[in-house]
Amino acid sequence: MQNQAKKTNRWLKSSLCSLMLYSFVGSKTIAQDNTLIVQAKKIYTSAGPMIENGSIVCIDGKIATIGATSSLIVPKDSKIITAEVVFPGLIDVRTCVGLSGILNSKHDSDQIESSSPIQPELRAIDAYNPGEELVEYIRDFGVTTIHTGHAPGELISGQTLIAKTFGNTAGESLLVDGRAVVATLAESSFKTGKQSPGTRGKQMAMLRALLIEAKEYQTKLAKKPDSKDADKTKEKKDDPDSTARSLKLEAMAEVLSGTKALLITADRSQDIASALRLAEEFSISIWLDSAAEAYLMIPQLKKAKVPVLLHPSMMRASGEQENLTFESAKLLHEASIPFGIQGGYEAYVPKVRVVLFEAAIAVAHGLPYSAAIESITIQPARILGIDKRVGSIEIGKDADLALYDGDPFEWTTHCTGVIVNGKIVSKLPR
């Protein structure tokens, strides 16, 4: 209680400025075009206790003020949108939407390139279609940010990006380009016949060889003379040791330097163990993706401090995912392992999953309510390194909000409004 009072006090102080400014504008009875007020019976912020009968004032695409509706002075003609419940805009911590399209035909399937097992140089931004109807589809349920990119299914299939679900071009919606390189440790990335990789051992051997090569490349680059020094460059031209630029090794060098994370899809416990072994050997930052058997590896995951981009709760329990459980999220939460629940990738149907539904199932199977909201808002934001901008309803963050007409996790509730950067982008309801 005391904490809450302190928080409220802090809010009053911090918001006083904007409130004064706001009532000043109000005294002129001019509502600003760049302002939007969201009022709801319940606001879950992912940054503190739930606010009852609260308001969120969005100015210039950012959250300017949050607090009790009763204490807010609202100018006439203000643009107000109301809801029963507001969540922070949802974040899908791992999807392939926008590269993998609704038709599932060669015309809209750019999530996997099978010509070679190792292609970290493939950028997601060159394949991401912000106009894909499934991007709009998930947005209409409240998803405002996605970490999307190349799919599992090759040893290294390419890169990922982070984007808002609104914007006319990839650049316009982009938050971070090249956030991670995608690797798969599973039978799904085996090649057939005499091609490699054909075994789990070979997968790891190839990954290790690649990282060693990238390390040498990195070292050579560091030794490379300053390119401004024309004479030296000229001198080095015929030197067989000089390093020609390699887009592949460049991407892997960024994994080594920590600029990019290595996202490793692994469901079987032995593959999870392999991923951790790789992270330790090369001191790289990895994200464990899907991780159906993560619950068997709790101590190891804790020790390695590896976050989990957890499989959709409703992922099919077959093949290498046959041992998954609806309780995965609950078990990771109880072990204090950071995780986000993902929409994931499906080769057939459903072409995209809605993280709201996946988190709902996790709640029904033991994940506490607030932890479930966090698993599709602030937790993904922290893992992805975008929590300064998105993931919670806090002053100064992007005004990305999801509005509902009841408990958002109930099947029969509707998403009644979606706000991205302070703009209403959907009012379906859906």
Partner 1 sequence: MNRLNNLNRRGFLQTASLATVATSVFVSRPKLIFGKGTNAEESCTAWTHAKIMPADGPAIEDGILVVRGSKIIAVGPSASTTIPSDAKVVDASNKWLMPGLVCTHSHVGGMGAADGSSPIQPGVRVLDSINVRDAGFRRALAGGLTTLNIMPGSGHLISGQTVYCKLRYYDKSHPNTIDDIVIRDMDGKSLGGLKMANGTNSIGEAPFPGTRGKSAYLVREQYVKAREYHAKVVAAKDAPDKLPPRDLHLESLAEAMLGKRIVHHHTHRHDDIMTVMRLSQEFGFRTVLHHVSEGWKVAKEIAAAKLPCSIIVLDSPGGKLEARDMTFKNGRVLDEAGVRVAFHTDDWITDSRLFVRSAALAVRAGMNREKAIQGLTLAGAEMLGLEDRIGSLTVGKDADISIWSGDPLSVYSRVVETWVEGKKSFDLSEPEDRLFAEGGYGAGEDIDPFLCCYAQAWQVGGTK
- 137 or 335: CB nearest partner 1: 137
Q: How far is the CB of 153 from partner 1 (least distance, A)?
A: 3
Which amino acid is it at 204?
M
Of 19-27, 202-210, 241-249, 314-322: span binding partner 1 (CB under 8 A): 314-322
- For residues 327 and 295, the answer to whether their CB atoms sit within 8 Å is yes
Q: Does 206 bind partner 1 (CB under 8 A)?
A: no
Which of 20, 364, 370, 388 touches partner 1 (CB under 8 A)?
Answer: 364
For residues 381 and 394, the answer to whether their CB atoms sit within 8 Å is: no
- DSSP state at residue 342: -
- DSSP lists the bridge partners of residue 43 as 51, 86
Tokens found for residue 399: 């005004």
For residue 137, give both structure tokens: 């589809």
Q: How far apart are CA 427 and CA 82, in angstroms?
A: 11
Q: How many residues does the chain have?
A: 430
From 145, 47, 78, select the one nearest 396 (Cα to Cα): 47
Pick 82 or 321: Cβ nearer partner 1: 321
**Is residue 336 a contact partner of residue 302, using CB atoms and an 8 Å limit?**
yes
Q: Are 91 and 380 in contact (CB under 8 A)?
A: yes
Choices 2-10, 80-88, 186-194, 221-229 (CB under 8 A): range interacting with partner 1: 186-194
Return the H-helix or E-strand segment holding 158: strand 156-164
Looking at 166, 217, 295, 404, which residue binds partner 1 (CB under 8 A)? 295
Please identify, among the stretches 47-55, 65-73, 243-251, 312-320, the one whose residues bind partner 1 according to the rule CB under 8 A: 312-320
Query: In the range 43-102, which residues lie near partner 1 by CB under 8 A?
Result: 100-102
Residue 380: count of CB within 10 angstroms of its CB: 31
Question: Scanning the structure block, which residue is given the tokens 């004479």?
Answer: 231
What's the token pair of residue 116?
């070679």
How many residues contact partner 1, by CB under 8 A? 59
Residue located via tokens 């990771």: 332
Closest approach of Cβ 277 to partner 1, in Å?
22
Which amino acid makes up residue 53? Answer: N
- Output b/e per residue, 293-326; b: 16+ Cβ within 10 A: bbbbbeeebeebebbbbbbbbbbeeeebbeebee
Q: Whole-number minimum distance, CB 414 to partner 1, in Å? A: 7
Exactly one of 32, 71, 104, 285 binds partner 1 (CB under 8 A); that residue is 104
Min dist CB 188 to partner 1, Å, is 5
Of residues 28, 106, 237, 245, which one binds partner 1 by CB under 8 A?
Answer: 106
- Asked if residue 384 binds partner 1 (CB under 8 A), the reply is no
C-beta of 315 vs 384, nearer to partner 1? 315
- Measured CA to CA, the distance from residue 329 to residue 351 in angstroms comes to 22
Using rule CB under 8 A, residue 357 touches partner 1: yes
410 is an interface residue for partner 1 by CB under 8 A: yes
Q: Does 273 bind partner 1 (CB under 8 A)?
A: no
Of residues 102 and 125, the one with the C-beta less far from partner 1? 102
**319 counts as binding partner 1 under rule CB under 8 A:** yes
Indicate whether 411 belongs to the interface with partner 1 (CB under 8 A): yes
Q: CA-CA distance, 316 to 330, in Å (whole number)?
A: 18
129 binds partner 1 (CB under 8 A): no
Considering only the stretches 47-55, 61-69, 152-160, 214-222, report the one whose residues sit in contact with partner 1 under the rule CB under 8 A: 152-160
Task: Give the separation between CA 135 and CA 116, rounded to whole angstroms.
Answer: 28
Query: Nearest distance from residue 152's CB to partner 1, in Å?
Result: 8
d(CA 380, CA 92): 7
Do 404 and 87 contact (CB within 8 A), yes or no? yes
Task: For residue 347, state whether it binds partner 1 (rule: CB under 8 A).
Answer: yes
- Cα–Cα distance, 87 to 393 (Å, whole number): 8
Residue 138, interface with partner 1 (CB under 8 A)?
yes
Q: Which residues bind partner 1 (CB under 8 A)?
A: 100-106, 108-109, 111-112, 114, 133-134, 137-138, 151-154, 188-189, 192, 293, 295-296, 314, 316-319, 321-327, 346-354, 357, 360-361, 363-365, 409-414
